[in-house]
Structure 1
Amino acid sequence: MKRALFFLVVVLGVVVNGSLCVLASAEGPIVIGAVIPLTGELAKFGEMQKHSYALALEEINEAGGVKGRKLELLIEDDTGRPEVGRSAVEKLISKDNILVLTGGYSSSVTYAIAGVAQNFKVPYVTHTGAADKITEMGWDYVFRINQTASEYFKGVLSFLKEVAKPKTAAVIFENTLFGQSQGKSFAAACEGLGCKVVMKEGFESGSVDFKPLIMKLKSANPDLVYAICYVMDAGLIVRQSKELNFCPKLFVGGGGGFALPEFVKNAGSAAEYIYSATLWQESLPFPGAKEYYQKYLKRFNEPPQFVAAQAYVALYVIADALRRASELTRESVREALTKTDMNSMYGHIKFVSYGKKTQQNLLPTYVGQWQHEKFELVWPKEYATKPFVYPIPPWSQR
């Protein structure tokens, strides 16, 4: 396991009425655990999360920490595999005695982590894994900040209903918990709009040849293609679509890899005018969003994506709950999390129950489009940084 440890010196006292008052509880840092992918295919995402944790931890501790104590973050590598993530959490809980847990990137690993946290009754604030069932198990120690897979495309549906109005759609998705969950939900939503789903097919992530799948898409000739996968597959699919001259009126990525800068690097010119659902953008009118973006960009020399923003806000949500907890026990922190009601650079955070979900934050989603190698927010109109281009021009005109 690889561990990254961010730790600042513990403040042992505070000034009260001009005199130093040593806090009885300030015996050391408050220990938080995080499990993210630091090696393997998903390591780039884990690196973004790790960077954002570092920024948030630094800011919180420089502002005095929580109840006179600094926060200490222990990070374990899940390698992108559920069984490794499960073991990492067990270690953090049993050996390192963490008070609260965060992290998770892929839905499969996040689901495994959540099950362990619930079993040990350790509060788990997850911020990226999106499969719906993570907050549909009735787990009372699991809290999710980010939008669920079945809600990734809420902004896309609005765009379809008001602008594109497709008559036919094809849905393709990687055969993972995240891909299957979102693919099923999006297909049902299309039918609800009166858009006929002419093709719905899963594929194995990591393929080097998507041309048979693309030929099926070309034969089905849908107005809309909605694709759900991570960044390497995303780039290859649109690049091979260009090679086969497959150009639907609208090609939309279901989050995942389509909104990342690596997508353009992998897809090249084929990325132009591709749409993607997205969960956050620094241009949104949330307090601190632009400041966070600029600080991250300056420190790490690359722009933060929504994955990074989710990790950053998670530590602030945890710090807020720790401050409000009647005592620093796992049960008290869990109770404080249930009462979370805060504005943040990611939007409003409040854990609610609706439908089958419990302790799930409820947020809107947005639509972006790649224009001249930049990911522009294009929907809803009131948040757009550029006008959308629709229908997508033929390859010969891009």
Structure 2
Amino acid sequence: MTMQTSIRIAAALAAMALGTQLAAADPIVIGLSSPQTGGAAYLGQHQRWGAELAIEEINTAGGAIGEQLELSVQDNQCNPTQGAASAEQLISVGKVSAIVGALCSSATLSIMPIIEKAKIPLVVETSTSPKITEMAGVGGNTWTFRINPSDQELAIGLARYLIADGKIKKVAFAGEDTDYGRGGHAALKAVLEKNGVDVGDGDFFGRDTQDFSAFLTRMGSDKPDAIAVYLNGADELNFLRQYRASGLTIPLTGRVEFSELQEGVVESGAINGATSVFPYSEQITVGDNTAFVERFRKKFGELPNAQSYEGYTAIKLIADAIERAKSAEPAKIRDALENAAFKATLGDVLKFDDHHQAHPSAVILQIENSKVVVKGLFNT
């Protein structure tokens, strides 16, 4: 063997070894479909932050099955058309092993048939439309799993609290004209009216509605005992500002996200007495939540909200499934999710029923003396 031949063989072996190392170094890609622009972008940013914190912690601890995780994010604009496009992009270009999303129920529902066809597991982290549960698992779509409660489950907990108060007999409803708003209305109406509380047909508003004055003026005349609010992001904040300016004292309830009110609405005292039901609050002290809140605040400079927590939990759940499956193959991740028993930050053990719906706890919140107060946790 000549010297030149030996050199060529050595170079070829070195290249093969390097190629093997590079292949082994390829990360496991998890997709995130999230509203990064539009009226729900603030919520989408928190969802992304939660996912990023989980990825960082997992990778620092050695990754999943010894491989690093990578987050690939696509903007769905809280829109079903863009939601479908975001999933197509994550699957065809991102080559993801699983997807988390899509925060907004209509976007999630548009993604479900796409991930089913592609055979990519979807972990629904925040969307609450009951349709998702109906269609998942034995409902037909075996690739979709939801970790947060549906509006139906949240409505039951909220209704129990409102009924126990004994003062509420008539509830008006202001919701966005989407699967989230209409699903929330149907769920709350069904539970409350069984217990003698009139909810009515509700008022529904398109996204980016600027003027709620006509509705608020009518509320001043109708004088319901409470107004249930199922709006999102900038629309919700816009509604609350106008409610404050109207001088109304009718208590608010429903799915009001107190944590995002950065404009002093809570502090002003204008919504004292308001109640809300949510899957999460940074004030909860059970499990490892206090430590999670501090890690999140230190990294991002803000307190986590429900979207942060659920984004974080979804990534941790997928990493757990990869570890148990000993594989990043989508089908094996799906099978591992079906058998999940994952302990989340709040101490809940996430398991999926035959509709691939988990049943974590949720929290009742109330504004008292211009502060958010936890009134209690309940099982869903």
Structure with larger Rg: 2
Paired amino acid for 2:56? E
CA distance in 1, matches of 2:306, 2:159: 20
- Where in structure 2 are the equivalents of 1:19-168 lying within 5 Å? 26-137=24-135, 138-168=140-170
1:309 alignment counterpart = 309
Paired amino acid for 1:301? G
The 3 A distance-change label for structure 1 pair 46 and 149 is same
Structure 1 unaligned spans of 5+? 1-21, 382-398
The 3 A distance-change label for structure 1 pair 266 and 272 is closer
The 3 A distance-change label for structure 1 pair 287 and 364 is closer
1:203 alignment counterpart = 205
Paired amino acid for 2:365? G
Is 1:320–2:317 an aligned residue pair? Answer: no
2:352 alignment counterpart = 351
175, 178, 194: which is aligned to 1:176?
Answer: 178
Paired amino acid for 1:306? A
Q: Cα offset for 1:104?
A: 1.2
1:377 alignment counterpart = 374
Once the two structures are superposed, what CA deviation does each residue of 1:150-205 show, in whole Å capped at 9, x if it has no partner?
22233321212222442222222121110000011111211111112356222233
Is 1:362–2:359 an aligned residue pair? Answer: yes
Q: Cα offset for 1:285?
A: 4.8
1:387 alignment counterpart = none
- Where in structure 2 are the equivalents of 1:290-305 lying within 5 Å? 290-305=290-305
Q: Cα offset for 1:69?
A: 1.0
Q: Percent identity?
A: 28
The 3 A distance-change label for structure 1 pair 24 and 328 is farther
The 3 A distance-change label for structure 1 pair 242 and 327 is closer
CA distance in 1, matches of 2:108, 2:296: 25
The 3 A distance-change label for structure 1 pair 160 and 121 is same
CA distance in 2, matches of 1:334, 1:380: 30
Q: Pick the structure with more helix per residue.
A: 2
CA distance in 1, matches of 2:77, 2:207: 16
SS of alignment partner, residue 366 of structure 1: strand
SS of alignment partner, residue 319 of structure 2: helix
SS of alignment partner, residue 290 of structure 1: helix
CA distance in 2, matches of 1:223, 1:282: 29
CA distance in 2, matches of 1:192, 1:267: 35
CA distance in 1, matches of 2:263, 2:228: 16
Is 1:189–2:191 an aligned residue pair? Answer: yes
Q: Cα offset for 1:326?
A: 4.9
The 3 A distance-change label for structure 1 pair 291 and 201 is same
Question: Which segment is superposed worse, 90-99 or 200-209?
Answer: 200-209
Q: Cα offset for 1:316?
A: 0.6
Normalised by the length of structure 1, the TM-score is: 0.82
Q: Cα offset for 1:134?
A: 1.7
CA distance in 2, matches of 1:195, 1:96: 49
Structure 2 unaligned spans of 5+? 1-19
CA distance in 1, matches of 2:197, 2:35: 38
- Confirm or deny: 8 A CA contact 1:239 1:270 kept in the other structure: no
Once the two structures are superposed, what CA deviation does each residue of 1:10-44 show, in whole Å capped at 9, x if it has no partner?
xxxxxxxxxxxx99994521121111111222211
198, 215, 218: which is aligned to 1:216?
Answer: 218
- Confirm or deny: 8 A CA contact 1:155 1:379 kept in the other structure: no
- Confirm or deny: 8 A CA contact 2:266 2:367 kept in the other structure: no
1:273 alignment counterpart = 273
SS of alignment partner, residue 67 of structure 2: coil
Q: Cα offset for 1:217?
A: 2.1
Normalised by the length of structure 2, the TM-score is: 0.85
Is 1:332–2:355 an aligned residue pair? Answer: no
CA distance in 2, matches of 1:380, 1:46: 25
1:253 alignment counterpart = 254
Question: Which segment is superposed worse, 212-221 or 359-368?
Answer: 212-221
CA distance in 2, matches of 1:39, 1:183: 26
2:235 alignment counterpart = 233
Q: Cα offset for 1:360?
A: 0.7
CA distance in 2, matches of 1:100, 1:72: 11
The 3 A distance-change label for structure 1 pair 24 and 238 is closer
CA distance in 2, matches of 1:287, 1:166: 34
The 3 A distance-change label for structure 1 pair 87 and 193 is same
CA distance in 1, matches of 2:36, 2:202: 33
The 3 A distance-change label for structure 1 pair 323 and 156 is same
- Confirm or deny: 8 A CA contact 2:266 2:272 kept in the other structure: no
CA distance in 2, matches of 1:201, 1:314: 33
- Confirm or deny: 8 A CA contact 1:154 1:364 kept in the other structure: no
SS of alignment partner, residue 41 of structure 1: coil
Question: Which segment is superposed worse, 318-327 or 268-277?
Answer: 268-277
Q: Cα offset for 1:293?
A: 0.4
SS of alignment partner, residue 271 of structure 1: coil
Q: Cα offset for 1:57?
A: 0.8
Q: Cα offset for 1:245?
A: 3.8
2:7 alignment counterpart = none
Q: Cα offset for 1:85?
A: 2.2
CA distance in 2, matches of 1:154, 1:81: 28
The 3 A distance-change label for structure 1 pair 158 and 364 is farther
